[in-house]
Amino acid sequence: MRIAFIGDIVGRPGREMLKNYLPNIKKEHKIDFIIANYENASHGFGLTLKNANELLGYGVDVMTGGNHSWDKKDVVAMFDTHEILRPHNYPIEVEGTGCKTYEVNGESIAVLNLMGHYGMPMCENAFRVGQATCKELKEQGIKNIFIDFHAEVSSEKRGMMMLLQGKVSAIIGTHTHISSDDFQIANGTAYLSDIGLTGCRDNVIGMDSKVPLKQFLTGMKGHFDIPKKCKKILQIAVMDLEDGKCTGAYKLKYFDDDRIIKTDAWLED
């Protein structure tokens, strides 16, 4: 089974990159199943029904969320009608789920969405929820498990890797929008601290730089906006899974000036 994951899709520029590149990527790289993080897809905050249908129409099979999952009112109803997740460690009273299982080429794969703690809304312990959920999935006979860990700090993401390596197929981080250079496979688990955003690349985390710079210089906050014009990037991780283990992986960066950069994950002995 070959799966792929796209990090935080930020606004219209991110959606345009999927429209322009994803169908060909899926075909060229023979990808069977695509996961994407939606939490910034609609003008940088949350997801509307229109944009959900748009992204799923480009070939995304399931979308994961994060701390901005609730920013658009459309999302609550979509948990019942669309393949959309929210962090699984929200309290059980919260609408939706953060874990679903899918059949791909005769095999099962579970997609688990977790959210970290530093700088995030109050939730259940991500590490305990992740550990317990993966144990339940294994008891159900599900070997292929993909985790989107939406967290601010790399130490939490690395901690999740230490906790679950060898027990899940992949753990890839989202939220910071800044791609990291530590894509590896250890004990059959693919790991990347942060895949990085898909959207504008020539600003501050996909947003117009004026408000962030004002905040850095003066401490005065403002509303972040998506630039009307920008240079764009699409970042996608491709992983081969076999019997619950990742056997090979690489990351692709597609630029809107037609450059493509491929980076192979390193294999830990």
For every one of its 269 residues, what pLDDT tens digit does the chain have, with 9 covering 90 and above?
999 999 999 999 999 999 999 999 999 999 999 999 999 999 999 999 999 999 999 999 999 999 999 999 999 999 999 999 999 999 999 999 999 999 999 999 999 999 999 999 999 999 999 999 999 999 999 999 999 999 999 999 999 999 999 999 999 999 999 999 999 999 999 999 999 999 999 999 999 999 999 999 999 999 899 998 999 999 999 999 999 999 999 999 999 999 999 999 999 87
C-alpha distance from residue 124 to each of 93, 119, 121, 198, 247 (Å): 12, 14, 10, 28, 32
Quick one: which H or E segment has residue 22? Answer: helix 11-28
Residue 45 CA, chain-centre distance (Å), reads 15
Q: Catalytic residue positions?
A: 68
Range of the domain at 122: 2-267
CATH number of the structural domain spanning residue 85:
3.60.21.10
* CB contact set of 129 (below 8 Å; sequence gap of 6+): 88, 89, 114
- Total of domains in the chain: 1
